[in-house]
Amino acid sequence: MPKAPAKTVILCPMKVEADALKRAGIRWPIRITGMGQNATEQAVKEVAASHGTDLRLILAGVAGGLSHGVSIGEAFQITHVTDPDGTSLTPVDSTSTTPSLCTVDAIVETLEDRLKLHETTGADLVDMESSHFIKACEPREVAWMVFRGVSDDVESAIPPGCEHFIDARGYPRIGRILVSLALHPWRIPAMVHLARSVNLGMAGVSRLIHEKVGTPDKPARP
């Protein structure tokens, strides 16, 4: 039976994701990285340098839906990841029923853009980190896992400017959020819906981590 890595660390792009895991009883070390390519690559580099190759890194957070095949609150262990042009970074398993994921450089807000990305890549989910995470792990011979929960489906309206509500560290810009909602109060329902959906998606991710990874004192069998 394969031996589990000596050290497991969970990476979350946003503080809200890390907080949700902690509330759900996840007791593995968690690092908040910030969103996007540079933050993800830097986090992998630093953690790998600290712990060596006998390490498992887990990317855990939310993703958006690109097709009608995924719904808010569902969570998946991601094994098939593509770049925006549809280039696959992982082996394609034609028998797998797990949704595939595409990594892009900016939030995909509109229904039209989501459907176009789905048509181009065949992906059902979208995020801003997974491909960069994998590309950073594999040359360092670091074992990796990706868990994503669906926070917004293909029909969801993402409040404009959301990318500016999170700082480079992955923490919410509370002041900016409050000012935006004060100036655009009609966006409050969409923000409340998104916050609830993030919690639903992360609840699913937490369940998967408990099932697939276990706890520090009782790891799941490989």
Q: Is 44 left (phi over 0), alpha (psi -120 to 50) or beta?
A: alpha
Domain that holds residue 95: 7-219
Q: What is the pLDDT of residue 93?
A: 63
Residue closest to 12 by CA, chosen among 148, 199, 210, 158: 148
Structural domain includes residue 117: yes
Give one DSSP letter per residue of 193-204, joined into a string. HHHHHHHHHHHH
Q: Is 118 exposed, middle or buried (0-12, 13-18, 19+ CB in 10 A)?
A: buried
Which positions of the chain have pLDDT values less than 50?
1-2
Q: What is the pLDDT of residue 3?
A: 55
Structural domain includes residue 2: no
**197 Cα distance to chain centroid:** 14
How far is 2 from 102, CA to CA, in rounded Å?
Answer: 29
Structural domain includes residue 81: yes
CATH of the domain at 103: 3.40.50.1580
179-206, pLDDT tens digit by residue? 999 999 999 998 999 999 999 999 999 9
- What's the number of domains the chain is made of? 1
pTM, 2 dp: 0.92
Q: What is the pLDDT of residue 1?
A: 38
